[in-house]
A and B are shown apart, each in its own frame.
Chain A
Amino acid sequence: MVLPALSTSTEQVSLPSLVEELLREQHTMTAVEQFSQTIRERQRPTQSKYYQALLPANPPGPGEQYAFEVNLDRCSGCKACVTACHALNGLDEQETWRDVGLLVGGTTSLPVIQHVTAACHHCIEPACMDVCPTLAYEKSSQTGIVKHLDDQCFGCQYCILACPYEVPKYHASKGIVRKCDMCSDRLAAGEAPACVQACPHEAIRISVVSQADVAADCEATNFLPGAPDPQITLPTTTYKSSHVFPRNMLPADYLVVRIEEAHPPLILMLVLTQLSVGGFFCNAWMFSGDATPGLNVIRNWQTLTSVGLGFLALAASTMHLGRPHLAWRAVLGLRTSWLSREIVTFGLFAASAAAYSTGTLFWSEGLLANEYFWQSVRAGVLATGLAGVLCSVMIYYRTHRPTWGGTRTLFRFIGTTIWLGLAVTVFAGMFATLVQSDVELETVMQELVAHLGRPLMICAFVKLAYEASDLLHLLDRHQSPLKRLALLMTGELGGIAIARFALGLLGGIILPWSLLTACSDSHVKWVATVSTMFLMSLVGELLERTLFFMTAVAPRMPGAVRT
């Protein structure tokens, strides 16, 4: 085929001027005014004709509340609800308050797949609310909606640890938590929540439920296959289905073993408060009975070290808060929140420890004169310290995470208290004898090690053995939370786990043992060995606590396929 010649380019517009013109056109937005609708009529939301039937006719009466009701037969897994909630509620780029999971089960001849949409369950016993130290949650007595007060929150994220359904979400740049409030503004005005109005299949509706019925259902564990135990919080969402789910229904992400957040400030805070409390118990031992002159010399230094690291711990804990300047609000939740109690108790501990240290340092004469008074102060330090550690235990126990069970947490926290209390005392003794020229290092240290070395080794051995026993869960047939923990410790977190046990063995057993057996008169050797022992013990415990957080397998709603 012969083509007729194309016209020459001289007949055409010059290229650069055309480029300029087209770029100008491209950036002109005047067209928007031509076609956009600008009449701001106040009218009922147009979408209401579709969602009206998805809202309850009457508001909840006494003993009733609003709840999400999901018709699983209609939930096809499109996830429009997630994006609509994100878009209509003005959430941040990454932020989503609703999620859609997948349950899979049945047999090859009759497979069953079921998508499940879920947001906040507006529980009857909301764990988020119960644990909040600042009273930043409110469950409406009229509607039952669990609302988060965004301006009250100081960003401790305890609610995130406590909610079994991963509902509260941390907003890092604001330093607060945010969550679904069932679009309460919309609901109050007769509009449907974003998810309800956006579900193409009308799978989500708002219903009025009797709180007593919800509690009864939860008692029978009739919530949703693969979901966390409903008895923890009594979730009000109703999942309806005409299918009888096969007994082998499991979440699509069932075998996903997820690393949880480490929370470094909390790690530092827990380990150092426990060290400090342990230190004060050793301090009490040094002041009691017939202390030798050697111990007399070092005990002030030991007091200082204990109180110093204790204050460091409290400083670290404020770093955890999204809005540390509001830390004082922690007192508000004393009635319900173990976090409030912990903060207040450790506050008292710090105050009494400071007073006690100041007293022993500057008025050691007066101290002897008012022995009864100072003993009371010391008892106060010990009591608040121990109470603080127990509050810490309760914080984690209260989350109902199996990896944070009461015994498991108690054993760890008390273990750290004893281990690091002993270790810091030996370390402080070594430091004191170095700077105080009036005592002989070897003499004092040999005495100290003779007293404390063996308890330290025993404590370390028992604690390490207890922790290592978690690995036995690898043998579990069931993919239990503890098996997941063991899988993490031998898998993705294997490096940390190995370092933890290596440092623990060295710092808690081998080095103390070498101090006990090999008598040395070399200053350098003492200093090196004791410092290494203390540092290894401390770092080992910090790693233990890192694992404590990172392996804290959280309960969660059924999730989608994950890779």
Chain B
Amino acid sequence: MIPHRLQKLFRVFDGPNTSELAQHPAPFGLPRLPASAMPTSTAKMVCGFCSTGCGLTVHLQDSKPVGLSPTTEYPVNLGMACPKGWEALSVLNSSDRATTPLLRNDRGRLEPVEWSTAVQTFAQRWRKICDQHGPESMAWLGTGQIAVEELAFLGALGKFGMGMLHGDGNTRQCMATSVVAYKQSFGFDAPPYTYGDFEESDVIVLVGANPCIAHPILWERVMRNPHQPKIIVVDPRRTETAMSAHLHLALKPKSDLILFYGIANILFARGWIDEEFLNDHTRGATEFRQHVSTYTPDMVSRETGLPIEAIEQFARLIHAGTRVSFWWTMGINQSYEGVRAAQSLINLALMTGNIGRPGTGANSITGQCNAMGSRLFSNTTSLMGGREFTNPEHRQHVASLLNIPVERIPDRNSFSYHEILKAILEGRIKGLWVVATNPAHSWINQDQAKDILSRLEFLVVQDMYSNTETAQLADLVLPAAAWGEKEGTFINSERRISAIRQVATAPGQALSDFRIFQLIANACGAGPMFHEWTSPAAVFQILKKLSAGQPCDFTGIEDFEHLERAGGIQWPYSSEFHDQLTRAEASASASDSDSCADSLRVQERRLFEDGVFYHDDGKARLLFEASRPMPEPPTDEYPFILLTGRGTAAQWHTQTRTAKSAVLRKLAPTSVYAEINPNDARRIGIHSQQKVVVASRRASVTVTAFVTPAVAPGQLFLPMHYPEVNRLTDAVFDPYSKQPSYKACAVRLGLP
């Protein structure tokens, strides 16, 4: 009809809409970008969501962020990021941001107040509570989400400046078990690995971990392993990770300890152990051998529900591997016997000599971006730098380093998270300062937790959003600047210290947590004590001094610029090591030899290469204990076991941040759902998309059914990101780590 040439006349190939999306060559080695997002400069920093600690390059146009991309040269993520990282900037722009301090008025409403009023109120109420009820009556709950310097400030201000005795952090919910396990086994809380180990192993054992969803960038490193590793996944669910496994052991929930003792028994019995390593570098092998001898394959098979052949195959694969690495996350940590379960994996690594060599290790993958920073410097469970409050020498040392009277350092340990809540319930703690965490959503047995928080005389919530479940209960809300709006450092899972940078302005009156602590120190009369704590960079220098001589020594790091130049630096990195390295590099470049390999070795370092552990005798401990049945097993009335965990890579924890990104919202179900096995669904008459009721002894919630064989019969899986889920969970704790056992409780399932 219309000749082609004529058609062309009426077709518009270019114009404003076309050019808006046209991609142009970009500077700084970035991919082609649309003109509107073309950077004039870039800033490098690490991501502020999970502990993987990916490097991100923020694209700046006239000092304003217009986008970001993962940093290619960064040794962690090799130019990749998960959806949360890609959307890290967009969650900063939200109408839910806290932009001014809010104080609950006489009518019970939160109303905006000036900063001066806010911090004066804070100081007055704190003083009043302490005067009436003693220094023990005010406590704080911190986080693994703010910078090391800020955590240290909070810890020092809380305990040394304000005289509080009790402070803990949300790291209790994810990492406490690994901390205690490492401390007891190795003599210091020291995850021994580097991410490069994922690429070096020939056998990778993943326990209670689903890196495909929870740590996609770590899965990237597994996928880049050139040795065709055998992947063994121990998880009751058929996860994405389990799908890729060579051997998936879908054991009964909470039978992990029995399984690993059973494996140890087989390894001992067959002589598939490294006697020499056990003798030279560990203590307790004989007792451990004795202990596991009762965990026979028959018994283990019965208790775990796994066929004997699968158990044997697991042991065989460990034996056959020359570089076996054991990795775990929340499936181990969030358990009533998590410390012993983690140590059972540490024991497997020790007894097979799989530690201190490339591709080996008993490796805990951490949760939050700065959980590791919190572990060293939050001044909660341990005294600054991984020391003991109960050790007078440690107290004296810290006091002299910080130039404070030693009497200001408490000589006893803090309450842990649940003990703080218990003390509130008992009326011993009256005031609580919650920083960058959301216990009213995330704490186990949520209804009770909310009830407890509502009993406080004074609840302060310091957060970047004013509408978190916890902020809604607060008497005072302090608006915090977020990641990207402040400076500091994070420490990732593999002990890598990296810098975060300010690339955006905080909204309204929001201040960085660091500056809020400065204000409160001043208002509470502790200003002079912190007169040297003028900036995160200054505090970093103080923390270096605190690390000196400790396993986590990082005195060799110059400053934030050094961290950036080096692509992050793993501790230990002492000044001696730094000098040595500088000399070695100088001579290497003079002789033009293998300087590239040298620099790589600096970027990826692991612990215990010399087989010397941090206990005084240099030996690791093999620790164990009889396994116990799960505290709330299924019954006739509550016949299902409820499992909880991460749902998608686009959701982070209680979704306070990720729900602020339109794209991340699209990538996850909008409301809570339960994964139900088809056999159970058929029996009860449930199909996908139907509303069903899940009830525990604590609460009853309505969820959408998703029928899938990925969860075993008799089990349900609910993603933890939805506020309903922790109404169901049962508040039981590991006796050593005090970490809540989120992963398994008894529930029933029915139609509404």
Number of A-B residue pairs having CB atoms within 8 Å of each other in the complex: 329
A206 close to chain B: CB less than 8 A: no
The smallest C-beta distance from A488 to any residue of chain B, in angstroms, reads 13
Distance A150 CA – B12 CA, assembled complex (angstroms): 8
In the bound complex, do residue A78 and residue B28 qualify as a contact, i.e. CB atoms below 8 Å apart? no
* Interface residue A183 (Cβ < 8 Å from any Cβ of B): yes
A82 to B24, CA, bound (A): 21
- Whether the Cβ atoms of A112 and B243 lie closer than 8 Å is yes
- Residue contact B36 to A197, C-beta cutoff 8 Å: no
Asked if B524 is at the interface (CB within 8 A of a chain A CB), the reply is yes
Known: A36-B41, A151-B14, A255-B689. A26 touches B515 (CB 8 A): yes
In the bound complex, CA of A197 to CA of B33 (Å): 13
B408 A3 Cβ-Cβ under 8 A: yes
Pair B515/A79 contact, Cβ less than 8 Å: no
Hey, what's the 0/1 contact readout for B503-520 against A, CB within 8 Å counting as 1?
101100111100100110
Q: Is B634 positioned at the interface, with any CB of A under 8 Å from its CB?
A: no
Give every chain A residue within 8 A of B481 (Cβ-Cβ). Answer: 26
B469 CB to nearest chain A CB (Å): 19
CB pair B27 A78 closer than 8 Å: no
Contact B72 A561 (CB under 8 A): no
A residues less than 8 Å from B70 (CB atoms) = 198
Contacts A32-B43, A32-B503, A35-B43 known; A46 to B10 CB distance under 8 Å? no
Known contacts A19-B116, A38-B40, A332-B2; is-contact A83 B83 (Cβ 8 Å): yes
- Listed stretches A84-92, A353-361, A549-557; interface member: A84-92
Decide: A106 near B709, CB < 8 A? Known: A41-B27, A77-B240, A149-B11: yes
Residue of B nearest to A115 (CB): B240
A82 touches B673 (CB 8 A): no
Query: A174 on the interface (CB 8 Å rule)?
Result: yes
Q: Which of A4-12, A296-304, A467-475, A528-536 contacts B (4 or more CB under 8 A)?
A: A4-12
Q: B625: shortest Cβ distance to chain A, in Å?
A: 33
| A-contacting 9-mer, from B199-207, B214-222, B743-751 | B214-222
Number of interface residues of B (CB under 8 A): 131
Check if A191 sits within 8 Å of B519, measured CB to CB: no
Of chain B, the residue at the smallest CB distance from A176 is B17
Complex contacts, A257 vs chain B, CB 8 Å: 689
A200 touches B217 (CB 8 A): yes
Closest to B40 in A: A38
Residues 396-414 (chain B) with a chain A CB within 8 angstroms: 405, 407-408, 410-411
Taken together as a complex, chains A and B put the C-alpha atoms of A8 and B127 apart, in Å, by 13
CA distance A241 to B49 in the complex (A): 32
Q: A150 with B17: in contact, given A38-B41, A200-B80, A332-B11 (CB under 8 Å)?
A: yes
Contacts of B519 in A (CB 8 A): 15, 18-19, 22
Q: Which of B187-195, B310-318, B661-669 contacts A (4 or more CB under 8 A)?
A: B661-669
Is B669 a contact of A23 with CB atoms below 8 Å? no
**Bound state CA distance, A201 and B222, in angstroms?**
9
Closest to A82 in B: B667
B709 touches A111 (CB 8 A): yes
Verify if A256 is at the interface (C-beta below 8 Å from B).
yes
B612 is an interface residue with CB less than 8 A from chain A: no
Task: Give A191 to B679 CA distance when docked, in angstroms.
Answer: 49
A80 touches B82 (CB 8 A): yes
Residues of B close to A125: CB separation below 8 A: none
Whole-angstrom distance between the Cβ of A337 and the nearest chain B Cβ: 11
The reply to whether B487 and A31 contact each other, CB–CB distance below 8 Å, is yes
| Cα of A41 to Cα of B42 in the assembled complex, Å | 12
* Residues A45 and B30 in contact, CB atoms below 8 Å apart: yes
Chain A residues, Cβ within 8 Å of B40: 38, 40
Residues from chain A with Cβ under 8 Å of B667 in the complex: 79, 82-83, 100, 560
- Tell whether, in the assembled complex, residue B33 and residue A90 are in contact, meaning their CB atoms are under 8 Å apart: yes
Q: A19-B115, A149-B18 are in contact. Are A88 and B69 (CB under 8 A)?
A: yes
The chain B residue with its CB closest to the CB of A5 is: B525
A151:B16 contact, CB within 8 angstroms: yes
Given contacts A90-B33, A115-B240, A6 and B522 within 8 Å (CB-CB): no
Query: Given A174-B17, A186-B23, A45–B116 Cβ distance below 8 Å?
Result: no
A-side interface residues, number (CB < 8 Å)? 104
Q: In B81-96, which residues have CB < 8 Å from any A CB?
A: 81-83, 86-87, 90
Chain A positions within 8 Å of B90 at CB level: 93
> Complex formed: what's the CA distance from A334 to B563 in Å?
63
Instruction: Say yes or no: B31 contacts A4, CB within 8 Å.
Output: no
Residues in chain A near residue B219, CB distance under 8 A: 76, 78, 200-201
Q: What residue in chain B is nearest A45 (Cβ atoms)?
A: B31
CB of B252 within 8 Å of the partner chain: no
Bound CA span A31–B43, Å: 11
Q: At the interface, yes or no: B22 with Cβ under 8 Å from chain A?
A: yes
| Residues on B with beta carbons closer than 8 Å to the beta carbon of A78 | 82-83, 212-213, 216, 219, 649
> What CA separation (Å) do A198 and B240 show in the bound complex?
19
A111-141 interface bits toward B, Cβ cutoff 8 Å, 1 = contact, 0 = none:
1111100000000000000000001100000
Return chain B residues, CB-CB under 8 Å to A11.
527-528
Report Cα–Cα, A176/B20, bound state, in Å: 13
Output the nearest chain B residue to A332 by Cβ-Cβ distance: B10
- Residue of A with least CB distance to B36: A90
Interface membership of A376, Cβ < 8 A:
no
Are the CB atoms of A9 and B525 closer together than 8 Å?
A: yes
Q: Are B511 and A22 in contact (CB under 8 A)?
A: yes
Q: Is the CB of B669 within 8 A of A561?
A: yes
**Nearest chain-B residue to A19 (Cβ)?**
B115
- The distance in angstroms between the C-alpha atoms of A7 and B523, with both chains bound, is 11
Complex contact A1–B63 (CB within 8 A): no
B409 to chain A, nearest CB (A): 10
Indicate whether A37 reaches chain B with its CB closer than 8 angstroms.
yes
Q: Given A37-B41, A38-B40, check contact A561 B34 (CB 8 Å).
A: no
**Residues of B360-391 whose CB lies within 8 A of A:** none
Residue of B nearest to A92 (CB): B662
Residue in B closest to A81 when the chains form the complex, CB atoms:
B83
Q: Are A94 and B662 in contact (CB under 8 A)?
A: yes
Given contacts A35-B564, A90-B33, contact A256 B27 (CB under 8 A): no
Contact with A along B605-632 (1 / 0, CB 8 A): 0000000000000000000000000000
Q: Is B44 an interface residue (CB 8 A)?
A: yes
* Distance of A491 from chain B, by nearest CB (Å): 11
**Cβ of A364 to closest chain B Cβ, rounded Å:** 38
Could you tell me if B80 and A198 are in contact, using CB atoms closer than 8 angstroms? yes
Complex Cα spacing A562 to B202, Å = 38
**Which residue from B18, B33, B135, B241 sits with its C-beta under 8 Å from A88?**
B33
The answer for the CA separation of A150 and B78 in the assembled complex, in Å, is: 34
The CA-CA distance from A87 to B37 in the complex, in Å, is: 9
A563 at the interface (CB under 8 A from B): yes
* B501 within 8 Å of A (CB atoms): yes
Chain B residues contacting A220 (CB-CB under 8 Å) are none
B525 contacts A12, C-beta separation under 8 Å: yes
**Which chain B residues border A88 with CB–CB below 8 Å?**
31, 33, 67, 69
B687 interface contact, C-beta 8 A: yes
Contact yes or no, A135 B83, CB < 8 A: no
CA distance A27 to B648 in the complex (A): 35
> Interface digits, B548-568 against A, CB 8 Å rule (1 contact, 0 not)?
000000000000110010000
B120 at the interface (CB under 8 A from A): yes
Residue of A50, A77, A83 near B72 (CB, 8 A) is A50
A-B contacts, 26 listed (Cβ < 8 Å): A7-B527, A9-B525, A22-B518, A25-B515, A37-B41, A45-B31, A46-B29, A76-B216, A78-B82, A78-B83, A78-B213, A78-B219, A94-B662, A106-B709, A108-B679, A114-B243, A150-B20, A150-B21, A151-B17, A152-B12, A176-B17, A185-B23, A197-B79, A252-B706, A255-B687, A255-B689
* A residues neighboring B (CB under 8 Å): 1-4, 6-9, 11-13, 15-16, 18-19, 22-23, 25-27, 29, 31-33, 35-38, 40-47, 49-50, 73-74, 76-80, 82-84, 86-90, 93-94, 96, 100, 104-108, 111-115, 135-136, 149-153, 174, 176, 178, 183, 185-186, 189, 191-192, 194, 197-202, 252, 254-257, 329, 331-332, 334-335, 560-563
Known: A9-B525, A96-B666. 4 other contacts (CB 8 A): A3-B163, A38-B41, A76-B212, A82-B666
List of 6 A-B pairs having minimum Cβ-Cβ separation, nearest first = A151-B15, A200-B220, A83-B86, A150-B17, A111-B709, A78-B216
